[in-house]
Amino acid sequence: MKKKIEKFEQLIAWQKARKLTSAIYNVTNLSGFATDYGLRNQIRRAAVSTMSNLAEGFERGGPAEFHRFLSIAKGSCAELRAQLYVAMDVGHLHQGSFDLLMAQASEVGQIIGGLRVAVDRQRTTVNQTPRQTKPI
């Protein structure tokens, strides 16, 4: 029997997004990256947005709202991946750091995608449950 997840902190997607956010903050504190304020702030916001939307969507209570916030989180994670390319292209990241962060971000995105499918399935099942009518 599967355990019911009762807090957003129990979501594997959120836990991994939290680790990714920490790694992004660490790398953006390094020399060249730290002075590129626009890119530094944007990539940090995308990382924070990913984990925040997972939390907010979960706490909203219903599968439709959770699904919507999962979509937003997945989009923020894609934005972060795009910004990693920019960071590497302008010399803020070496290939090894890029590969590590990209692998983390890709994993988070895949987990969010899988969770989104599961929530959508649950949402669809709930909406298709036939209503019982009382005889008049």
Nearest one of 74, 24, 19, 66 to 44, comparing CA atoms: 24
**Does residue 70 lie in a domain region?**
yes
pLDDT of residue 133 exceeding 50, the answer is no
CATH classification at residue 114: 1.20.1440.60
Give tens-digit pLDDT for 65-96: 999 999 999 999 999 999 999 999 999 999 99
List the domain range (segments joined by +) for residue 36. 12-125
Q: What is the DSSP letter of 134?
A: -
CA 24 from centroid of its chain's CA atoms: 14
**Does residue 101 lie in a domain region?**
yes
Give tens-digit pLDDT for 21-68: 999 999 999 988 999 999 999 999 999 999 999 999 999 979 999 999
- Number of domains present in the structure of the chain: 1
